[in-house]
Amino acid sequence: MVYDEPSMAEKKMPRRAFLKKAAAGVAASSVFGPVYAQTRKRVRWRMATSWPQSLDTIFGTAKAIADRVKTLTDGRFEIEVFPGGEVVPALEVFQEVQKGRVEIGHTASYYYLNLHPAFAFGSALPFGLTARQQNAWFYDGGGQDLLNAELYAAYNVVAFPAGNTAAQMGGWFRRPVDSLADMRGLRMRIPGLGGEVMGRLGVKTVVISGGEVFSALQKGQIDATEFVGPYDDEKLGFYKVAPYYYYPGWWEPGTTTHAFVNLAAWRRLPKDFQVALEAAAHEANERMLAAYDAKNPAALERLLSYGVKLRPFPKEAMRVAYREAFSLYEELAAKDATYRKIYEHWIHARTQLFRWFGTNELAYADFTFPAI
């Protein structure tokens, strides 16, 4: 909804003074580039999300975007934020943005693999990029522009990275899974291509939203679940019904969430509102990552104090999963031109990034991180 309304200050300001001020706004520039003339419009949007309200990390990030946009536009661009399932189903946020029923959504691209397998590249792929590598590819390597042009535009949507969970944990299991044989036949909640790869290891996979996982696990409808990491997982209470906590989440080494915006609504936005929204999303991308990195260590300590059993995934299972993941990527690339185009861009970036991170970052981490 967009409408013109003079601000209180303008109502009080003599017309000549206002015109002078407006003209100065158009002409002005600073060391940071041109200063956009401030629009007189007011805009109200609705943002659907896929997140339970209890998660201050990820739902809090969606709220932070709205708050920042409001501040940056002097209160003239307001976005009302809804938890998962409140105005639209938690896992249909993208489609509702596409239809324009809500102007903006905060969700994870890989929830929408049913629309196209290339949606995985917006969030995470098994054995893919870490948070920093995602950002390198999205912002500096042309990855986000590529996704917008080749994928999301076909759905009348434009996307901005707006949150990262860092490397996720492997999730909660009712029983130990110390071999591939232990994993066969398990029913597990896991989204994205990680779910496809788990399927190839014999796991029966389902995708349900974060808010519904605990009750499915408690009722025994599933044997295992993953969500994000210690801080969120503690809040959702999975440790109460599935005490074995595995790592790493090899299917989500640095998952990105996005602000998805209906393209027609985006084009109707005044330029300075577009700049405010893009800046707020960029800031959210950084802040969510910082929040997870800062909060997860203490949360893991608490979980261990409750008796949670922390275990690494069996290497054998990870090796088979790695092989299956890349067979899957090649199969998808052979079947679909859009997927192939994005995959080739991504795999090139991944090769370069892994070579660099595998040299300097790895040497530092390998020497320093292990608890001595």
Q: Which residues bind Ca ion (CB under 5 A)?
A: 168, 226, 252
103 vs 252, which CB is nearer to Ca ion? 252
Q: Which amino acid is at 246?
A: Y
Instruction: Output the smallest distance, CB 234 to Ca ion, in A.
Output: 15
Q: How far apart are alpha carbons 228 and 123 in whole angstroms? A: 13
DSSP strand pairing (309-312 vs 187-189): unpaired
Q: How far apart are alpha carbons 21 and 164 in whole angstroms? A: 40
Q: How far apart are alpha carbons 285 and 163 in whole angstroms? A: 4
128 vs 141, which CB is nearer to Ca ion? 128
Q: How far apart are alpha carbons 353 and 359 in whole angstroms? A: 10
Instruction: Output the smallest distance, CB 125 to Ca ion, in A.
Output: 12
196 vs 252, which CB is nearer to Ca ion? 252
127 within 8 A of 250, measured Cβ to Cβ: yes
73 vs 168, which CB is nearer to Ca ion? 168
Instruction: Output the smallest distance, CB 272 to Ca ion, in A.
Output: 36
312 within 8 A of 245, measured Cβ to Cβ: no
Instruction: Output the smallest distance, CB 124 to Ca ion, in A.
Output: 8
Q: List the end-to-end C-alpha distance of the chain, in Å, as a whole number.
A: 58
- Three-point CA angle 72, 76, 77, nearest 5°: 75
162 vs 280, which CB is nearer to Ca ion? 162
Instruction: Output the smallest distance, CB 233 to Ca ion, in A.
Output: 10
